[in-house]
Structure 1
Amino acid sequence: MNTKYYRTWEEYKAEHPEIDERLEGVMVPKMQSYEEMMFGFVMMLLM
């Protein structure tokens, strides 16, 4: 998906190489939950 608002964790990390392992451990669960919420929202709109 090519949008300036929606980013997967892999895309975000590629754009921000300064993220260290400690920070990554905190950010990964949050970003993954945002991805799942976005998917759920889109599915709700389609139903």
Structure 2
Amino acid sequence: MKKNANEIFMLQYRIKRYQAMGNGTMCQALNGKLQKLLAKQSITM
């Protein structure tokens, strides 16, 4: 559980950084990973 939370926070941080740089492609890829992780986490709870 703790590992997933760290991974979620790290993905959110990276998404914000790529948004600031204007890299939309990478941002979308990371958002996809984040959504999959969040969906998996909500199922296990």
Taking structure 1 as the reference length, what is the TM-score of the superposition? 0.52
The list of structure 1 runs, each at least 4 consecutive aligned residues, that deviate by more than 3 angstroms after superposition, is none
Q: CA RMSD in A?
A: 2.5
| Identity in percent | 6
1:18 corresponding residue in structure 2 = 17
Number of equivalenced pairs? 36
Structure 2 gap segments, 5+ residues each: none
Structure 1 gap segments, 5+ residues each: 43-47
Comparing both structures, which one devotes a greater share of its residues to helix? 2
The structure with the larger Rg is 1
